[in-house]
Every structure is written in structure tokens, then in C-alpha cells.
Structure 1
């Protein structure tokens, strides 16, 4: 009987998740670019090209929906979310801004 190496099995699992993360990030980026392209074309067709939202607008929409999903809230109504998870997600964002981008922000104190 061959015994499997726990470290090798863990590494394989990490690789599977990393590939899924990479594919997901690429799909989201592509979807954002496609949304901007489609809206640009649609706005041009109604002579409203100057009112076309930029990619960051659509990224904000995705961010808001993902925030709701992370917190367990309905992304359409914002109902049902867990405030403790929301607190930790916001605190994590504050720490990222402070650590990586030198934001002048004091993260919420730990609970």
C-alpha cells in the first residue's frame, strides 16, 4: 500500500485553488471590459456616449455585490447580512489601504 504525503496533497489542493482564483480573476476582468464595451456601444446608439460609465463604475457594482455575498446579505436588497463579518471585511480593507498604499487611516480597533 502506498502512503500519500500530506504536504504533497496539501500543495496539490493549494494549486487547484490557485488555478481557480486566477481563472475567476480573469473572468471578472473580462466581464468588466465587456460591460464597458457593450454599454459604450449601446450609449452611442442612443447618442449618449458622453454618459457612458467607466470601468471603475462597474467594478464598484461588482465590489458591492461581492461585499453583500461575503456578509451573507442579499445583494439586491442588502437585507440579511452579518454585521460582524461586515466589520471584519471593512477592517481588512482599511489594513490593506494602510499597509500597501500608505493611507492615512486608522483601522477599526479589533473586536
Structure 2
């Protein structure tokens, strides 16, 4: 079995570079947006005398994670919750069937 990496053509290398640059820009933009969300929330909470209630970075990270999960699975994060329900139920069934996960999938609606 040949385990060496193929040498990319100049055209393939350009494609890889474009995608990598876009990935890096996206990661930077998400990090900056998260920082800005935390900062703005803290400022607004301070303005109403609730600075101790300002959400932590992890809250905003989970919001991003949940929205991206919905988008990746074809569910509209602002729309029909039934789609998300069926996506999750399907994932539970797959885990149970293929990997013998000790879970009981949501009952069918």
C-alpha cells in the first residue's frame, strides 16, 4: 500500500490555498464576533445594573454551535422545530443501530 501524499499540481495548490485562506478568515471572524458579543452584552448588562448576569463566552459559543448544527443537518435554526426533532431522532437511531449506543431514541411524533 502506498502511503505517500501525492504532489499537488500548481492548480490544486492554488485551490487548497484559497480554501485555507477562507477557513482562516472565517475562524478569525467568528472569534472576533464572539469577543464582540461578550463585550456588548457585558456593557449593556452593566448599563442596567446587572453586570453579574452577563453571559460568559461559553454561552455565545454554544449559540454558534447549535446554529451551525442545525444548518449542517438541514434544519432552520429560526424555523420549524420538527425538522430538528427528526434530525436528532435519526442520529439517535443511527448511534443505537451501528454502535450499540445505550440510548432510547425520542419516540416518533
Q: Are 1:83 and 2:87 an aligned pair?
A: yes
Equivalence map 1:1-111=2 (5 Å): 7-77=9-79, 78-81=81-84, 83=87, 87=91, 109=99
Listed as ranges, the gaps of 5+ residues in structure 2 are 1-7, 101-109
What is the rounded CA distance, in whole Å, between the counterparts of 1:61 and 1:72 in structure 2? 17
Distance of 1:68 and 1:60 partners within structure 2: 12
CA-atom RMSD, angstroms?
Answer: 2.4
| Pair member with larger Rg | 2
Structure 1 length-normalised TM: 0.67
What is the CA distance between 1:56 and its match in structure 2? 0.7
Report the CA distance between 1:83 and its aligned residue.
3.0
| 3-state SS in 1 of match to 2:27 | helix
Which runs of 5 or more residues in structure 1 are unaligned?
1-5, 92-107
Q: How many residues align?
A: 85
Give the alignment's TM-score, normalised by structure 2.
0.69
